[in-house]
Amino acid sequence: MKTFKDKVAVITGGASGMGRATALSLAREGVSVAIADLNEERLAATAGELEALGVRAIGVRCDVSRPEDIAELRRQALERLGRVDILMNNAGILPLGRFESTPLSEWERALRVNFLSAVVGVQTFLPDLEATGDGHVVNTASIAGAFAYEPATLAYNTSKAAVIALSEGLALALAPRGIGVTCLLPGPVATNIMEQARPSGPIAQLATYASANFEMRTAEKVGEMVVEAIRTNRFFLPTNENLNDILQQRAVDPDGFVAEMKAYLAQG
């Protein structure tokens, strides 16, 4: 993105965690922000923080699993802020449970919220992003979508893998239209995502591999990383750079990699 001057961003899941942190980081660059969330109290509080930084800001209650809510988010953003240059599809949920214990409804919910909302979001805002001539999309995936390490989050992992595939395809499809794409792959980040967790049956300790192999990031650090990725039009944005080493290892010897992960999990 050539400049942040006079830009407007729309961020789903923008009232807390990485969405809020990114909104604040963009506001410090002078970007006005429309944040979307289900928590109205947090929406109001975050919108107030953004306005205190000297930018225009609105909070819109939005259930991203409902295309009509995303359409209303666009209507309010255009009506109240005038344009949309940046779209961050960040809202997400975390279904938990053994594969056989996770009902189909939870798989469908994960795909609607984590993946299809990004599809609908880009489709809905595409005319506005293209009209700017310098638009940008950020899709929040996860390292859990890049490789398997936690069997208790298969619905989440699958939805985030779909986000990665979508983002890579969009990076190719939208480049000729002047729109950049960033795929954010968070590792461990201190957020409140566990508030969205819905266990299906008893769950043992989660993500021990991730905790052992990836440094915990703050949401504020991730927000800064996202702003820099938008500025430089960076596509692949892991919050932990050693993800690249792990993916290279898997690419060289996929069977050996899976065998090692099985052995790691078998240790308990």
pLDDT in tens, 70-107: 999 999 999 999 999 999 999 999 999 999 999 999 99
Q: What does the alpha-carbon distance between residue 159 and residue 245 come to, in Å, rounded to a whole number?
A: 23
Positive or negative, the CA dihedral 62, 68, 74, 76 is: negative
Q: What pLDDT shows up at residue 206? A: 64
φ, ψ of residue 82 in degrees (nearest 5) = 95, -25
CA 241 to chain centre: 17
Sequence-ordered list of residues with C-beta below 8 angstroms from that of 240, at least 6 positions apart, any chain: 143, 187, 214, 215, 217
Q: What does the alpha-carbon distance between residue 66 and residue 87 come to, in Å, rounded to a whole number?
A: 17
Radius of gyration of the chain (CA): 18
Flag residues of the chain having pLDDT under 50. none
Q: What pLDDT shows up at residue 2? A: 87
User: Which two structure tokens, joined as six digits, stand for 224?
Assistant: 């800064």
Q: What pLDDT shows up at residue 71? A: 98
Class of domain 8-241: alpha beta
Taking the model in full, what pTM does it have?
0.94
CB atoms within 10 A of CB 204: 9
Nearest to 88 by CA among 223, 239, 232, 243: 223
Name the 3-class secondary structure at 11: strand
Per annotation, catalytic residue among 149, 156, 209, 264: 156
Query: Which segments of the chain are extended strands (E)?
Result: 8-12, 32-37, 57-61, 86-89, 94-97, 135-140, 179-185, 189-190, 197-200, 217-218, 236-238
Q: What pLDDT shows up at residue 208? A: 84
156 assigned to active site: yes
φ, ψ of residue 155 in degrees (nearest 5) = -65, -45
